[in-house]
Amino acid sequence: MLKIRLKRLGAKKDPHYRIIVINSTTKREGKPVEELGHYNPKTKEMKFNLASAQEWVKKGAQPTDTVKYLMANCNPDGSLNYKKPEVVKMSKKAQAKAEAAKAEEAAKAETQAEA
């Protein structure tokens, strides 16, 4: 059975991956049937041949969970559609201050609306 999976490259603690089609019984760094692209998880840089990957899936190749995610979030040009989370982490004290400021603002708005 063929799999579409990642082949690890790069130094220790600096991974880079190639997205490959390979026999499922072959080791991770074995010779691939076809290379579909590359992916760098640290910089979120990706170049991926999505059309070729979809052809392999039609032929029966099984993508791994990570490759399914990459295929789902791939732009038509082969780059990753990555959205950085906009959540700002705040300490409990800072969260309490922000909530108090919002409550104070709401109270001012009510008093102005009544007047």
- Return the pLDDT at 115: 63
Residue range 73-87: mean pLDDT, rounded? 81
**Which residues are paired to 97 by β-bridges?**
none
Say whether pLDDT at 90 is over 90.
Answer: no
**Which residues are paired to 3 by β-bridges?**
22, 62
The torsion angles phi and psi of 23, rounded to 5 degrees, stand at -65, 140
51-70: per-residue pLDDT in tens? Answer: 999 999 999 999 999 999 99
- Domains within the chain, CATH numbers bracketed: 2-72 (3.30.1320.10)
Return d(Cα 64, Cα 19) in angstroms, integer: 10
**Which residues are paired to 46 by β-bridges?**
39
Task: Extract the tokens encoding 109.
Answer: 């708005």
Say whether pLDDT at 75 is over 70.
Answer: yes
